[in-house]
Chains A and B, each alone.
Chain A
Amino acid sequence: GQQLNQSPQSMFIQEGEDVSMNCTSSSIFNTWLWYKQDPGEGPVLLIALYKAGELTSNGRLTAQFGITRKDSFLNISASIPSDVGIYFCAGQLPGNRDDKIIFGKGTRLHILP
């Protein structure tokens, strides 16, 4: 089946550093979503992208819907301790009648003391 390749799998950074993660696929998507999950909680929607080339910000977070519609990235600027968690990308395929949204395997963000 279709897959989303999310990278990196994990990141170890210093507080204050910028972070970048991305998702790629061989398939074209018409929606890209980015979520953050804290331990023991459900994923929370960070940014939703609906149009190729769209660049959207949410505070220190910026995400882009790739022009080819096969990729998306999420950047976090000036990381802080509460950014720790798992970040998931998700995409919806065009003409997907069953509304099944495909998830990446997540990027686990660690902030070193």
Chain B
Amino acid sequence: DGGITQSPKYLFRKEGQNVTLSCEQNLNHDAMYWYRQDPGQGLRLIYYSQIVNDFQKGDIAEGYSVSREKKESFPLTVTSAQKNPTAFYLCASSISGQGGSGNTIYFGEGSWLTVV
């Protein structure tokens, strides 16, 4: 099946630990994104990547890091510097990496991260 796969669905982090959320897409999309969603809230952009080996900070990048070594993969690391990491994390992708009209973004099923 074509789509965006996030794993794990549920993740628990101890204080001071780094954790990595996986995102893989087989849609051959150029652009990939990570969003954070807090309960009852909208989506906030953490990082995005338009092309392999390149990525930009979104609105709330502090305490997070990403890599884009392969077109289909865009893992997100939540570092110990992120003081309030408990949230629902959504990975997304879209076809165009160069702007323009007609860009449509598709989402994975999300990952819940809880600090224990």
Contacts and interface: CB of A to CB of B under 8 A. Distances in A.
Interface of A: 1, 30-31, 33, 35, 40-45, 48, 50, 88, 90, 92, 94-101, 103-106, 108
A44 B103 contact: no
Nearest to A4: B42
Contacts of B96: 99
Interface string B35-50: 0000011110100101
A99 B30 CA distance: 11
A89 B77 CA distance: 28
B58 interface: yes
B42 A31 contact: no
Which of A42, A43, A88, A101 counts the most chain B CB atoms within 10 A?
A42
Interface majority SS (helix, strand, loop, mixed), chain A: loop
Contacts of A50: 101-102
B34 interface: no
Contacts of A1: 59
Contacts of B48: 98-100
Interface in B48-101: 48, 50, 56, 58-59, 88, 90, 92, 94, 96-99, 101
B97 A45 contact: no
Contacts of B58: 100
Contact of A45 (B90, B102, B104, B112): B104
13 contacts: A31-B102, A35-B107, A40-B88, A40-B110, A42-B4, A42-B6, A43-B107, A45-B105, A50-B101, A88-B42, A100-B45, A101-B103, A103-B43
B30 to A, nearest CB: 9
B12 interface: no
A12 to B, nearest CB: 16
Given A43-B90, A99-B48, A99-B94, A92 B108 contact: no
